[in-house]
Amino acid sequence: MKIALVHDYLGEFGGAERVLLALSEIWPEAPIYTAFYRRGPAWERFKTRDIHVSWAHYIPGFATKLHSPLRFLAPAIWNSFNFSNYDIIIGSSSWYITKGFARKGRAIEICYCHAPPRWLYGYPTSVEWQRYPMVRAYASIVGFFMRQYDFNAAQKVDYFIANSKETQRRIQKFYRRGATVIYPPASLREALRAGPPIRKNYYLVVSRLVGGKGLALAVGAAKKLGFPLKVVGAPAGYGREFEMLRAKSGKNIEFLGYVSDEELAKLYAGAKAFLALATDEDFGMTPVEAMSLGTPVIAFAGGGYTESVIDGKTGIFLFPLLRVSRRPRNSAKPDLKKNSLHLLLPTSLESAYTELHMDVLSVKNLTKRFGKFTAVDNISFSVGEGEIVGLLGPNGAGKTTTIQMLLSLMMPTKGTITCFGLPLVTHREEILQRMNASSGYARLPWRLTVWENLNVYAHMYHVTNRKEKITSLAGRFEALDLLPKPFQDLSAGQMTRIFLVKAFLNDPELLLLDEPTASLDPDIAEKIRRFILEERRCRNMSLLITSHNMSEVEEMCDRVVFLNHGKVFAVDTPEGLARRNSQAEVSLMVKDGLKRLIERAKRDKFPYEEKNRFITITLPERQIAPFLMDIGKQGIEYNEIEINRPSLEDFFLSATKRTV
Euclidean distance between CA atoms 528 and 521, whole angstroms: 11
Average pLDDT over residues 119-133: 65
Reported as a single tens digit per residue, the pLDDT across 569-611 is 988 888 888 877 768 889 999 988 898 899 888 988 899 999 8
Q: Which of 5-9, 16-20, 194-198, 336-340 has the lowest mean pLDDT?
A: 336-340
Q: Are strands 388-392 and 542-546 parallel, antiparallel or unpaired?
A: parallel
Euclidean distance between CA atoms 19 and 21, whole angstroms: 5
Euclidean distance between CA atoms 527 and 532, whole angstroms: 9
546, 389 Cβ separation under 8 angstroms? no
Tell which wins on pLDDT, 49 or 121.
49
Mean pLDDT computed over every residue of the chain: 84
Report pLDDT for 338.
38
Report pLDDT for 239.
60
Average pLDDT over residues 543-568: 90
Report pLDDT for 326.
37
Short-list 83, 85, 82, CA closest to 1: 85
Short-list 302, 240, 241, CA closest to 276: 302
Query: Cβ-count burial of 429 within 10 angstroms (0-12 exposed, 13-18 middle, 19+ buried)?
Result: exposed
At 280, is the pLDDT very low, low, confident or very high (cuts 50, 70, 90)? confident
Euclidean distance between CA atoms 501 and 514, whole angstroms: 14
Provide the Cα torsion 591, 597, 601, 607; round to 10°.
30
At 457, is the pLDDT very low, low, confident or very high (cuts 50, 70, 90)? very high
Tell which wins on pLDDT, 183 or 622.
183
- Angle of helix 165-175 relative to helix 133-155, nearest 10 degrees, comes to 90
Report pLDDT for 97.
83
Report pLDDT for 351.
59
At 339, is the pLDDT very low, low, confident or very high (cuts 50, 70, 90)? very low
As a whole-number percent, the residues of the chain with pLDDT over 90 amount to 35
Residue 290 has pLDDT above 60, yes or no: yes
SS3 478: coil
At 187, is the pLDDT very low, low, confident or very high (cuts 50, 70, 90)? low
Average pLDDT over residues 534-545: 87
Per-residue CA distances from 103 to 90, 346, 348, 546 (Å): 12, 50, 50, 72
Cα end-to-end span (Å), the chain: 81
**Torsion region of 470: left, alpha or beta (phi above 0 gives left; psi -120 to 50 gives alpha):** alpha
Report pLDDT for 84.
85
Q: Are strands 32-34 and 51-53 parallel, antiparallel or unpaired?
A: parallel
Euclidean distance between CA atoms 80 and 90, whole angstroms: 17
Q: Which of 61-70, 151-160, 229-238, 356-365 has the lowest mean pLDDT?
A: 229-238
Per-residue CA distances from 457 to 461, 472, 653 (Å): 6, 15, 39
Reported as a single tens digit per residue, the pLDDT across 265-278 is 888 888 888 999 88
603, 617 Cβ separation under 8 angstroms? no
Average pLDDT over residues 173-183: 93
Average pLDDT over residues 647-655: 78
449, 483 Cβ separation under 8 angstroms? yes
Query: Cβ-count burial of 415 within 10 angstroms (0-12 exposed, 13-18 middle, 19+ buried)?
Result: middle
Instruction: Name all domains of the chain by residue range, CATH numbers in brackets.
Output: 3-181 (3.40.50), 188-328+339-356 (3.40.50.2000), 359-575 (3.40.50.300), 577-659 (3.30.70.980)
Per-residue CA distances from 343 to 125, 169, 347 (Å): 20, 28, 8
515, 441 Cβ separation under 8 angstroms? yes
Report pLDDT for 29.
92
- Order of strands across the sheet that contains 614-620: 608-611, 614-620, 583-592, 637-644
Residue 435 has pLDDT above 90, yes or no: yes
Tell which wins on pLDDT, 211 or 378.
378
Report pLDDT for 199.
62
Query: Cβ-count burial of 58 within 10 angstroms (0-12 exposed, 13-18 middle, 19+ buried)?
Result: exposed
Read off the pTM. Answer: 0.54
Residue 131 has pLDDT above 80, yes or no: no
Average pLDDT over residues 43-56: 88
Short-list 69, 15, 17, CA closest to 38: 17
For residue 576, how far is the Cα from the chain centroid?
17
Residue 411 has pLDDT above 90, yes or no: yes
Residue type, 478: E
**Torsion region of 376: left, alpha or beta (phi above 0 gives left; psi -120 to 50 gives alpha):** beta
Tell which wins on pLDDT, 289 or 654.
289
Report pLDDT for 39.
79
Report pLDDT for 344.
44
Average pLDDT over residues 84-108: 83
Report pLDDT for 383.
92
Reported as a single tens digit per residue, the pLDDT across 470-519 is 999 999 999 999 999 999 999 988 999 999 999 999 999 999 998 888 88
Short-list 281, 267, 194, CA closest to 231: 267
Report pLDDT for 128.
54
Average pLDDT over residues 339-359: 53
Average pLDDT over residues 150-167: 92
Average pLDDT over residues 117-136: 68
Report pLDDT for 328.
38
At 455, is the pLDDT very low, low, confident or very high (cuts 50, 70, 90)? very high
Average pLDDT over residues 442-468: 91
Q: Which of 51-60, 254-263, 403-412, 524-533 has the lowest mean pLDDT?
A: 254-263
Short-list 141, 72, 115, CA closest to 284: 115
Average pLDDT over residues 126-139: 65
